[in-house]
Amino acid sequence: MKLVVIGFGQCGSRIADEFSRLNRKAISNRGIEITPGIFAVNTDAADLSGLTSIKADYQHRILIGGRKTGGHGVGKINELGAEVAREDADKIVDALRTTKRFYDTDGFLLIASAAGGTGSGSIPIIAQHIKERYMDKPLYGLIVLPFEHEEQNEERTVYNTAVCLKSIYSVADAVILVDNQRYVRKDFSLKNNLDKINALIAAPFYNLLCAGEEKKAAHVGAKTLDAGDIIQTLLGWTVIGYGESKIERFSLFGSKGGFRDKSSQTHKAVQAMDAAISEISTRCNPKDASRAMYLITAPAKDINMDMIKEMGDWMRDMAPNAIIRNGDYPRDGTNMNVTVILSELSDVEKVRNYYNASTDLVPVIKQRQQDVASKLKSIDDLGKDIPTLL
C-alpha cells in the first residue's frame, strides 16, 4: 500500500519524519517505495527546521499562518490552528500534487497530536479539503493522545483532545489512536523518550505497507495482505499493535523439521501476536472490534498452516464479533513479527473519558473567559474620567 503522509504540528511532523526514514529503509533494503509523498505542516518555523529526513524545500516543509503567528506557533489555541489551516488549505493541497505518481497512491495518512494547537486544529480542516477533492481515496487520521501528566495539569489539553477527536472522526475513514503513555520508558531522557516513542508509533506500518508492494516472487505471501484488505479493514476508531519473537535456530531434540520444532514455531507466532496485543497503541476491549487483521512476517520455511490456523483461532477467541483478515509476508531474518489491527471499535474508554471531561470543562472555560472580560471592563470603567496623553 502506498500512502501520502502529512504530519501536522510538532508531534505530527516528527512522526512523519519517522515515516520518511521507514520509506528510505524500504527502498534501500527491499526496493519498495511505501510513502511516495511525505509532508510536514506547521506554524512554527523552528520545529520544521528540526526535521532530518523530510525534504527541506518549501513544498514538503510547509509553514502556514506566518502572517498571524510570525512563524512561532499558535500557543495551544486549536481554534487559531484551524483558522490558519483554513486560510492556507489550498497551499497544502497543491503541494500534495507534487508527489511523483500521485494518482498511483492508495490513500492519505494524516498525523497529529490531539493535545496541541497547530496539529489538533489543522488536521480536521485539511482532511475535509482533501476528502472533497479526492473522494475516491481513503483518508486515515493517526491521532496521538497526550501523556497522563498533560491531562492532569493542563485543562486545555483535555479540551483540545476532545475537540480534535470529534472533528477528525467526522471526516476521516478511520482514526488510528495512539496513547503516548503506553510507550513511555522510565529510564530514558526526555528527548530519547520522544524519539523512541515516535519510532515505535511508525514501526507497525513497515511490514504492513511493504507486503502488498512486493515484486519478488520469493517474498510474496501465500495469502498476500494488500491495499484492498487494509482499506476494507480500516474504519472508525482503530488501534494497531506490533510484536516479535526470536526464532531459535538450534534444536536440542534432533533434526530440524521434527514435531517439536513445528510446535515451537507455532508457539513463537502466537507469542508474537500476544506481544502485539499487549503493546496495542491504545487500550481497548478486542470484543468491541467489528473488523480485525493480522500479518505475520517471518522466513518462508518457518510459516506453516498449523501456525496460521492457531493464530486465526486465537484472534477469533479474542475478537469474536470481528470480520478477520490475515496474511503472511515471507522475509529472511531471525525474528517472527506480527502486526495486528483492531478496527470499527464500538467503544474506546479513552475517547469516552475525554468527551465526558471536556463536556464538564466547556462551561468552566467559558465562564473563566467571561470573568476575565468582566474584570478588564471594570478597570476600564474606573479610569474613564482620567485624561490620556494619547
Higher-pLDDT residue of 263, 108: 108
Average pLDDT of the residues in 260-271: 74
Per-residue model confidence (pLDDT) at position 386: 80
Domain with CATH 3.30.1330.20 in the chain: 240-343
User: At residue 254, does pLDDT exceed 50?
Assistant: no
Least confident of 66-70, 167-171, 357-361: 66-70
Measured between alpha carbons, how far is residue 377 from residues 371, 373, 389, 390 in Å? 10, 6, 21, 20
Q: Residues 6 or more apart from 370 whose CB is under 8 A from it?
A: none
Which residues in the chain are classed under CATH 3.40.50.1440? 3-202
- Per the CB < 8 A criterion, the answer to whether 4 and 97 are in contact is no
**pLDDT of amino acid 2:** 95
Beta-bridged to residue 339, according to DSSP, are 242, 295
Please answer whether residues 92 and 125 qualify as being in contact, where contact means their C-beta atoms are separated by less than 8 angstroms.
no
User: How would residue 349 be classed by pLDDT, with cut points 50, 70 and 90?
Assistant: very high
CATH 3.40.190.10 for domain 3-202? no
Q: How confident is the model at residue 89 (pLDDT cuts 50, 70, 90)?
A: very high
C-alpha dist (Å) from residue 178 to 34, 105, 160, 186, 263:
21, 24, 16, 18, 34
Which of 178, 153, 210 is closest to 3 using CA atoms? 210
For the segment 94-105, what is each residue's pLDDT rounded down to a tens digit? 999 888 889 889
Write out pLDDT tens, residues 356-377: 988 877 777 676 666 656 666 6
CB 205 within 8 A of CB 227: no
Q: What is the pLDDT of residues 284-315, one digit of tens each?
A: 999 999 999 999 999 888 888 888 888 999 99
Q: What values do phi and psi take at 187, rounded to 5? A: -95, 10
| Edge-to-edge order in the sheet of strand 139-145 | 61-63, 37-42, 3-8, 107-113, 139-145, 174-179, 236-246, 335-343, 291-298, 323-330
**Greater model confidence, 35 or 185:** 35
For CA atoms 255, 256, 257, 263, give the dihedral sign. Answer: positive
Amino acid at 207: N
Q: What confidence category does residue 249 fall into, taking pLDDT thresholds of 50, 70 and 90?
A: low
pLDDT in tens, 214-240: 988 989 988 889 999 999 999 999 999
Q: Which pLDDT belongs to residue 137?
A: 94
Distance CA 306, CA 309 (A): 5
Q: b/e map of 113-125 (b: 16 or more CB within 10 Å)?
A: bbbbbbbbbbbbb
Whether 188 has a pLDDT exceeding 70, the answer reads no
> So what's the pLDDT on residue 252?
44
- The three state secondary structure string of the chain is CCEEEEEEHHHHHHHHHHHHHHHHHHHHHHCCCCCCEEEEEECEHHHHHCCCCCCCCCCCEEECCHHHHCCECCCCCHHHHHHHHHHCHHHHHHHHCCCCCHHHCCEEEEEEECCCCHHHHHHHHHHHHHHHHCCCCCEEEEEEECCHHHHHHCHHHHHHHHHHHHHHHCCCCEEEEEEHHHHCCCCCCHHHHHHHHHHHHHCCHHHHHHHCCCCCHHHCCCCCCCHHHHHHHCCEEEEEEEEEEECCCCCCCCCCCCHHHHHHHHHHHHHHHHHHHHCCCCCCCHHHCCEEEEEEEECHHHCCHHHHHHHHHHHHHHCCCCEEEEEEEECCCCEEEEEEEEECCCCCHHHHHHHHHHHHHHHHHHHHHHHHHHHHHHHHHHCCCCCCCC
Pairing, β 335-343 against β 291-298: antiparallel
**Higher pLDDT pick, 335 / 187:** 335
Q: Which CATH architecture has domain 240-343?
A: 2-Layer Sandwich (3.30)
